[in-house]
Amino acid sequence: MASPIASRGSLAPLFEPRAIAVYGASSDPTKIGGRPLDFLKSSGFDGALYPINPKAAQIQGLPAFATVSAVPGPVDLAIVAVPAPGVLAALEDCAAKGVCGAVVLSSGFAETGGQGVAWQAGISALARRTGMRVVGPNCMGLISVRRRLLGTFTPSAAGFGLVPGRISLVSQSGAFGGYCLSLIRQRGLGLNLWITTGNQCDVDVADCITHFAGDDGTQVIVAYLEAATDKDRLVAALALARERGKRVVVMKVGRSEAGAQAAASHTASLAGSDQVYEGLFRQYGVWRARSIDELFDVAYACSVNAPAPLGRRLGLLTVSGGVGALMADVASDCALDVAPMPEDAQRRLKELVPFCGPRNPVDMTAQLVNDLTLFGSNFQIMLEEGGYDVVVAFLSSVGQVMELSRSLLEQLQAVLRRFPDRAVVFSSLASPEVRRMYEAAGVLLFDEPTRAVRAAAALVYFAEQSRRAAQADPPPALPAGALPPPVRAINETQAKTILASAGIAAVPERIAADEDAAAREAAALGYPVVLKIASADIAHKSEIGGVIVGLADEAQLRKAFRTLTQRAATHAPQARVDGVVVARMAERGVETILGVVRDPVFGAVVMFGLGGVFVEAFQDVAFRVAPFGVAEARAMIGEVKGRVLLRGVRGQPPADEDALAAALAALSVYAARHTDGIESIDINPLLVLPRGRGVQALDALIVPTTGAA
Amino acid sequence: MASPIASRGSLAPLFEPRAIAVYGASSDPTKIGGRPLDFLKSSGFDGALYPINPKAAQIQGLPAFATVSAVPGPVDLAIVAVPAPGVLAALEDCAAKGVCGAVVLSSGFAETGGQGVAWQAGISALARRTGMRVVGPNCMGLISVRRRLLGTFTPSAAGFGLVPGRISLVSQSGAFGGYCLSLIRQRGLGLNLWITTGNQCDVDVADCITHFAGDDGTQVIVAYLEAATDKDRLVAALALARERGKRVVVMKVGRSEAGAQAAASHTASLAGSDQVYEGLFRQYGVWRARSIDELFDVAYACSVNAPAPLGRRLGLLTVSGGVGALMADVASDCALDVAPMPEDAQRRLKELVPFCGPRNPVDMTAQLVNDLTLFGSNFQIMLEEGGYDVVVAFLSSVGQVMELSRSLLEQLQAVLRRFPDRAVVFSSLASPEVRRMYEAAGVLLFDEPTRAVRAAAALVYFAEQSRRAAQADPPPALPAGALPPPVRAINETQAKTILASAGIAAVPERIAADEDAAAREAAALGYPVVLKIASADIAHKSEIGGVIVGLADEAQLRKAFRTLTQRAATHAPQARVDGVVVARMAERGVETILGVVRDPVFGAVVMFGLGGVFVEAFQDVAFRVAPFGVAEARAMIGEVKGRVLLRGVRGQPPADEDALAAALAALSVYAARHTDGIESIDINPLLVLPRGRGVQALDALIVPTTGAA
């Protein structure tokens, strides 16, 4: 486990240096050691620049120094481009000089194996020892657009060409970071800070997110992440970003098996399960993009100063009925509420354009061409009477004409002065000038209408996450009498006893050592009952016929007892059998599965899914890092497609989701408390009874960690 | 039902006119009657132009005529922009002159209701009577890029700005068509023909698809469709397009409830169920796009002369491991096979770049910058030894540099000469010149890597569809002894008898009128048996407890008989009860649901889904228009997510998918034969037994059409 976040030095010297030394500076501006110097000189960086090269008196017109210690003034940042074998010595020099931050561009470290691994370990040790923050090695460097600081050799930075803005980006991969930089330039997105972390010998993605979270110039954090190395730092970073109201948009590859294998072989590190990341991102209000287009669409949407939508109600205003219907389709995919206009308001809209579509989408038709003021009047009625939280307006190619676009924007602003809490997203093919005019007014503009709708959905998501974060959702307290986890294999009744002590109710059941005891217990519980073999050595009872259900009376029970003992003797002769479990027949309810697994990165992780074939055949499950509160558990339940079964299908009553959420939260607290002692917990099924009647664990397995015994 | 396709006149005069008359031609080039003339004059259309306007001697510098009959030479196409009340008279003039095609831009017809409806009916009648093909009214007109014919008033056509190419587009919606035109210009896509059909009084989307299918200059057909009016024409059009090897990409809105409502209110026509369209598109190898970006990405992919991939094996070549993993994720979403390179080949790749990722994605790393020939050598090994059908190569921003791009293309072509059947999709930010160079070489180029992968998936889809279309898949013959559908309500045993006669096997069962008969039949079938109330008046037996399963002997059977008769008397006293059904207890198998419904547009439609909650809770179903063959049935089964259950989960053996497909095809043939007599058929469940053991209809309901009795 790495040192806690507080003890790590700030990244400020990296992004706010007064002076920069370039180690291995070259006179050839196409070389890795020449390019950053060339970029820094030509971009207009306002600090001092010191080429470090023992073999030259001057590099690219600047006086060169043999080592950084020879530099007369202070140096805050060193960019290191010497060959791998010389990097550590260069960094020692820097530390001696009091340099606070270094970026190591050189490759030939852990990624190549062999001696490189040792060299990289040396850099890590130096960083820890001296407190100097080191980026890389094997990275593409960093950029501060405001400072015109191009501390990178990526060709994508050539000629600067960057617009200052509120997006900051961190990429573990240099190639990915460079490609993104090109895209950012092509799209004209406003950028603040940019950094690639490469081998992450010291500074990792989590550090950068933390830095961005504390940076006033950053509103949106874009992160490309391959594998987290430190749960606590990443969680702390995401929590800080959320607390500071920054929007975090991530690209985390490895969703599929092929993708995960590619990512693993690429990073040579054991990533946690992808589904755990998915859960973590939802837990901390992060948007996970599935494509690079989406990554920057969402980043762009969050970088413009649009109000956070108050709810999911989406108004659609269009000049094309067809595009209106298309936007409604995509809005439904995004679970936005395309609520219809009130009847009265529909009549008012019909007065404006008799043949319009007034319902929602509101179709102004081509009449807009004849009367541009229809836009303002339609829009006003939609906000006034439709009460939409966010409106997406499709205007075809109007944005290509500045004159028309200005008129539309003025109408829009006149209405928004009365409804300052409503967000608006435009979709139109548009000239760059029109785009900038709209963005300056806090109105998003997308060429393509479905991308506009998806951006609106992202705004809604972040707004919901902010509201959720504002409400306390502490994990519940662990019950006072909660039993510790076992140190060796236990049977299901013992497992359920432990879980019950932790707050997860089980079906009433007893263990009976012999046939007569079984009959007594059954009579006490009341028929009909279920009989199951009780043995810590038989984990999957049903596979050997070790469960007999629906026993209606004592005769059936006694016969079943003999059958079970016979089967255990036949199929599992080595198993130590404690007798049988006599349980009351379960009521009707919805079968769910709750699990706990130990993730190599994130520790205790709780899994939830519907019972039956849903988990096995569809992988329809949700994960969360433990511990969490009841509201988080509720969100988790909501993510599972099979959730419809809990709402009551085929005439069944709605299930007790409150009790289910409480059980999930309780399980997470228990799992987090005993992370080191528990290998896994499997409650399968947990029966969710009708609303108000709770849950019952019908079967449970707790596997202790092998080292724990 | 409209007249068969063969009797309808060709659309050639619309797109290949020698001379055009513009009715309602205006001197003001911003007016609806002035703009087409202005466009046609300035675009360089090579035919004669005749403004028709009784009030002027000259319009926009051309001699004007009072009516088309006054025009000296022949006129093939009339563009009509006079106000609605005068349109019919203008068209009568045209017909008298022998004009073969007319485009009515004017609005004020069916879309406004009232008198407009009658006017439009008049146009339809005229078109039918004279054979003149009429586009519109209330449409945006048409374009032939090759002829530089801008028969439209959409501002999107101003200044021409169109590149000739192999994509032809038809849009029911004028606004959608205009927006697409702007997009096509912005993306620089090659366009051939463009048409909007508006109110479709005569020419509809299906006619245009048929025309495009027969047009040598068209390779890709893009269609925006709101609602089909004539199944036979649409099906014939799609079949012809497939036969001629044209790729069809559609945007059909109304997937969601909100979208469908929007589409319905917009077109004021009863669209068939969206899921039926979905089935139809798959049946005829059409790609349905979910966004406008996707619509044109796929159209673009099909318009470039890339080879049709021979299979689903996808090779990924990348300069960024991260983007490689991202592409692998998206490839998995698209069900492409990211198969690994053989071990030997991986060793060869490692020799080229020791620290590369050799598996697939193949990561060339930034080494490519130092040695550009790595691209060709990696690519060659991938084709040679990986045997990939299609390769997507991510090259970051290399496409912005012509020199590098040319080198890569030359290397690529050298390899492709040896593997001319492999398709390649590039992803790189690229200059327009580089893009054109690659396209000319049959290499697709996308800025964004996930869009490149999705385009590759579209190429694979179309190639598979072509192969499938090349293999005969006739619907099976209806069995000679197939019984006709009932003319009034029948009980389930009668329904199963009819279905069995049509080739869909049922569980062995008998009807017994009284208790003794039931006992005799049960003895003949063999215990255990199921007992069910037999009544044509009780459609949902299980809701009144009308089914008792697992009867082990005669005593249980007799008791159950009395219980059932009692329940029927209590819960359905009016029902006429035929006795009970005695059926052999079903074996273990997978429960599926087969259905037939009558779609308002498409007639008899067959539905398939898994039993249990899948259909009800997840709408996990597939549709096909009847009739179809066994291969189509197999494709249908493959579309359902619950299909995994048929493959055998939880230790169950794989189910008999052959028999299931045969039952679906047989049902489709029966339904198509008796479309007019059947309101619906519901086989729920159809039990699919383990492989080689067939299927059994356990319950069935046939509802005859009310008019049929």
In whole angstroms, give the CA distance from residue B288 to residue A104. Answer: 49
Question: pLDDT tens digit string along B449-477?
Answer: 999 999 999 999 999 999 988 888 999 99
Q: How far is A450 from chain B (nearest CA, A)?
A: 6
CA atoms within 13 A on the CB side of A63: 6
Q: Is B261 on the interface with A (CB under 8 A)?
A: yes
In whole angstroms, give the CA distance from residue B59 to residue B34. Answer: 9
Structure-token pair, residue A593: 């599965």
B126 contacts: CB under 8 Å, gap ≥ 6: B88, B91, B92, B95, B132, B134
Question: pLDDT tens digit string along A435-450?
Answer: 999 988 889 999 999 9
Which one of B320, B434, B447, B641 makes the best mutation probe of the A interface by having the most chain A beta carbons within 10 Å? B320
Question: pLDDT tens digit string along B608-650?
Answer: 998 877 676 677 889 999 999 999 999 999 999 888 889 887 6
Among A87-96, A464-473, A517-526, name the most confident range. A87-96
Q: Which fold has domain B508-584?
A: Dna Ligase; domain 1 (3.30.1490)
Q: Is A305 on the interface with B (CB under 8 A)?
A: no
Is residue A7 predicted with pLDDT exceeding 60? no
In the block, which residue shows the tokens 């043995």?
A535
Is residue A540 predicted with pLDDT exceeding 80? no
In whole angstroms, give the CA distance from residue A531 to residue A95. Answer: 71
Mean pLDDT of chain B: 91
What is the percent of chain A where pLDDT is above 90?
71
Question: If you ran DSSP here, which 8-state letter would residue B536 be given?
Answer: T
- Chain A residues closer than 8 Å to B171 by CB: 322
Q: Do B266 and A363 touch (CB under 8 A)?
A: yes
Q: Do A328 and B256 touch (CB under 8 A)?
A: yes
Is residue A271 predicted with pLDDT exceeding 60? no
Domain(s) labelled CATH 3.40.50.261 in chain A stretch across: 5-302, 305-470
Please report the pLDDT score of residue B545 as a whole number: 81
Q: Which fold has domain B590-708?
A: D-amino Acid Aminotransferase; Chain A, domain 1 (3.30.470)
Question: pLDDT tens digit string along A196-228?
Answer: 999 999 999 999 999 999 999 999 999 999 877
Please report the pLDDT score of residue B707 as a whole number: 57
pLDDT: which is higher, B440 or B195: B195
Please report the pLDDT score of residue B272 as a whole number: 52
Q: How far is B433 from chain A (nearest CA, A)?
A: 16
Q: How confident is the model at residue A544 (pLDDT cuts 50, 70, 90)?
A: confident
Q: Is B591 on the interface with A (CB under 8 A)?
A: no
- Chain A residues closer than 8 Å to B261 by CB: 328, 359
In whole angstroms, give the CA distance from residue B73 to residue A283. Answer: 75
Question: pLDDT tens digit string along A126-183?
Answer: 999 999 999 999 999 999 999 999 999 998 998 899 999 999 999 999 999 999 999 9
Q: Residue B267: helix, strand or coil by DSSP?
A: helix
Taking Cα atoms as reference points, which of A544, A591, A333 lies closest to residue B612?
A: A591
Closest residue in chain A to residue B617, using alpha carbons only: A644
Distances (CA, A) of B1 to A126, B11, B120, B137: 83, 21, 18, 21
Is residue B255 predicted with pLDDT exceeding 90? no
Q: How far is B348 from chain A (nearest CA, A)?
A: 17
User: Is the distance from CB of B356 to CB of B350 less than 8 angstroms?
Assistant: yes
Please report the pLDDT score of residue A570 as a whole number: 87
Q: How confident is the model at residue B265 (pLDDT cuts 50, 70, 90)?
A: low
User: Is the distance from CB of A689 to CB of A696 less than 8 angstroms?
Assistant: yes
Helix ranges (H only) for B503-553 are 515-525
User: CB burial class (10 A; 0-12, 13-18, 19+) of residue A179?
Assistant: buried
B666 contacts: CB under 8 Å, gap ≥ 6: B476, B479, B502, B503, B504
Taking Cα atoms as reference points, which of B200, B248, B190 lies closest to residue B228?
A: B200
Q: Residue A58: helix, strand or coil by DSSP?
A: strand
Q: How far is B611 from chain A (nearest CA, A)?
A: 13
In whole angstroms, give the CA distance from residue B373 to residue B327. Answer: 23
Question: pLDDT tens digit string along B294-322?
Answer: 999 999 999 988 899 999 999 999 999 89
Q: Do B175 and A266 touch (CB under 8 A)?
A: no
Q: Do A329 and B178 touch (CB under 8 A)?
A: no
Question: pLDDT tens digit string along B88-124?
Answer: 999 999 999 999 999 999 999 998 888 999 999 999 9
Q: Do A179 and B429 touch (CB under 8 A)?
A: yes
Q: What does pTM read for this prediction?
A: 0.91
In whole angstroms, give the CA distance from residue B28 to residue B37. Answer: 10
Specify the length of chain B in residues.
Answer: 709
Q: Enumerate residues 430 to 449 of chain A having a beta carbon within 8 A of any beta carbon in chain B.
A: 447-449
Residue A269, Cβ neighbours under 10 Å: how many? 15
Q: How far apart are the first and last CA of chain B?
A: 23
Distances (CA, A) of A636 to A468, A606, A709, B468: 13, 10, 33, 42
Q: How confident is the model at residue A269 (pLDDT cuts 50, 70, 90)?
A: very low
Taking Cα atoms as reference points, which of B553, B644, B556 lies closest to residue B592?
A: B644
Please report the pLDDT score of residue B268 as a whole number: 42
User: CB burial class (10 A; 0-12, 13-18, 19+) of residue A557?
Assistant: buried
In whole angstroms, give the CA distance from residue B709 to residue B706. Answer: 7
Please report the pLDDT score of residue B352 as a whole number: 86
User: Is the distance from CB of B434 to CB of A213 less than 8 angstroms?
Assistant: no
pLDDT: which is higher, B124 or A542: B124
B379 contacts: CB under 8 Å, gap ≥ 6: B317, B391, B393, B411, B412, B415
Q: Which fold has domain A5-302?
A: Rossmann fold (3.40.50)
Please report the pLDDT score of residue A707 as a whole number: 58
Question: If you ran DSSP here, which 8-state letter would residue B157 be given?
Answer: G
Host H or E run for residue A48: strand A48-52
Q: Is B253 on the interface with A (CB under 8 A)?
A: yes
Closest residue in chain B to residue A325, using alpha carbons only: B259
Q: Is A333 on the interface with B (CB under 8 A)?
A: yes
Which one of B291, B395, B593 makes the best mutation probe of the A interface by having the most chain A beta carbons within 10 Å? B291
- Chain A residues closer than 8 Å to B642 by CB: 617
Question: pLDDT tens digit string along A384-415?
Answer: 999 999 999 999 999 999 999 999 999 999 99
B184 contacts: CB under 8 Å, gap ≥ 6: B162, B167, B169, B191, B296
- Chain A residues closer than 8 Å to B178 by CB: 396-397
Taking Cα atoms as reference points, which of B163, B168, B217, B216 lies closest to residue B190?
A: B163
Q: Do B332 and A173 touch (CB under 8 A)?
A: no
Q: Is A118 on the interface with B (CB under 8 A)?
A: no
User: CB burial class (10 A; 0-12, 13-18, 19+) of residue A355?
Assistant: middle
A137-141, A464-468, B224-228, range with the lowest pLDDT: B224-228
What's the mean pLDDT in A450-472? 94
State the Cα angle at B437 between B433 and B438, rounded to 5°. Answer: 120
Please report the pLDDT score of residue A617 as a whole number: 66
What's the mean pLDDT in B243-248? 95
Please report the pLDDT score of residue A142 as a whole number: 98
Q: How far is A69 from chain B (nearest CA, A)?
A: 33
Question: pLDDT tens digit string along B286-296?
Answer: 999 999 999 99
In whole angstroms, give the CA distance from residue B646 to residue B589. Answer: 9
Q: Do A261 and B292 touch (CB under 8 A)?
A: no
- Chain A residues closer than 8 Å to B354 by CB: 112
Is residue A6 predicted with pLDDT exceeding 60? no
- Chain B residues closer than 8 Å to A324 by CB: 262, 266
Option in B186, B290, B322 nearest A176 (CB): B322
Closest residue in chain B to residue A114, using alpha carbons only: B355
Closest residue in chain B to residue A321, using alpha carbons only: B266
Which one of A139, A291, A388 makes the best mutation probe of the B interface by having the most chain B beta carbons within 10 Å? A291
Please report the pLDDT score of residue A272 as a whole number: 52
Is residue B4 predicted with pLDDT exceeding 50? no
Q: Do B325 and A641 touch (CB under 8 A)?
A: no
What's the gap between Cα B551 and its chain centre?
Answer: 48
Q: How far is A524 from chain B (nearest CA, A)?
A: 29
Q: How confident is the model at residue A267 (pLDDT cuts 50, 70, 90)?
A: very low
Distances (CA, A) of A245 to A221, A236, B351: 11, 14, 49
Q: Do B262 and A333 touch (CB under 8 A)?
A: no
Closest residue in chain B to residue A452, using alpha carbons only: B291
Q: How confident is the model at residue B7 (pLDDT cuts 50, 70, 90)?
A: low
B33-37, B269-273, B349-353, range with the lowest pLDDT: B269-273
In the block, which residue shows the tokens 């003794």?
B516
Q: How confident is the model at residue A2 (pLDDT cuts 50, 70, 90)?
A: very low
Q: Do B448 and A292 touch (CB under 8 A)?
A: yes
Q: Enumerate residues 617 to 646 of chain B having a beta carbon within 8 A of any beta carbon in chain A.
A: 617-618, 641-642, 644-645
Sign for the CA dihedral angle at A437, A443, A449, A450 comes to positive
Q: How far is A260 from chain B (nearest CA, A)?
A: 7
Question: pLDDT tens digit string along A653-677?
Answer: 899 999 999 999 999 999 999 999 9
Which one of B176, B349, B356, B431 makes the best mutation probe of the A interface by having the most chain A beta carbons within 10 Å? B176
Q: In chain B, how long is the greatest CA-to-CA distance?
A: 102
Question: If you ran DSSP here, which 8-state letter would residue B502 be given?
Answer: T
Q: Is A344 on the interface with B (CB under 8 A)?
A: no
Domain(s) labelled CATH 3.40.50.261 in chain B stretch across: 5-302, 306-470
Taking Cα atoms as reference points, which of B630, B695, B691, B692 lies closest to residue B662?
A: B630
Taking Cα atoms as reference points, which of A56, A232, A40 lies closest to residue A147?
A: A40
Q: Residue A344: helix, strand or coil by DSSP?
A: helix
CB pairs under 8 A between A and B: 243
Please report the pLDDT score of residue A275 as a whole number: 86
Is residue A4 predicted with pLDDT exceeding 50? no
Option in A173, A183, A325 nearest B262 (CB): A325
Q: Where are the beta strands (DSSP E) in B567-677?
A: 579-584, 590-599, 603-610, 621-625
Option in B266, B290, B618 nearest A325 (CB): B266
- Chain B residues closer than 8 Å to A186 by CB: 429, 447
User: CB burial class (10 A; 0-12, 13-18, 19+) of residue B537?
Assistant: middle
Pick the CATH number of B306-470 from 2.40.160.20, 3.40.630.10, 3.40.50.261, 3.30.70.1230: 3.40.50.261
Question: pLDDT tens digit string along A41-57?
Answer: 999 999 999 999 999 99
Closest residue in chain B to residue A368, using alpha carbons only: B175
Q: Do B155 and A397 touch (CB under 8 A)?
A: yes
Please report the pLDDT score of residue A112 as a whole number: 84
- Chain A residues closer than 8 Å to B450 by CB: 290-293
Q: In chain A, how long is the greatest CA-to-CA distance?
A: 102
Q: Would you state the CATH architecture of domain A305-470?
A: 3-Layer(aba) Sandwich (3.40)
In whole angstroms, give the CA distance from residue A197 to residue A178. Answer: 12
Q: How confident is the model at residue A3 (pLDDT cuts 50, 70, 90)?
A: very low
Q: Is B256 on the interface with A (CB under 8 A)?
A: yes
Please report the pLDDT score of residue B534 as a whole number: 87
- Chain B residues closer than 8 Å to A360 by CB: 262
In whole angstroms, give the CA distance from residue B396 to residue B386. Answer: 23
Mean pLDDT of chain A: 91
Q: Do A186 and B396 touch (CB under 8 A)?
A: no
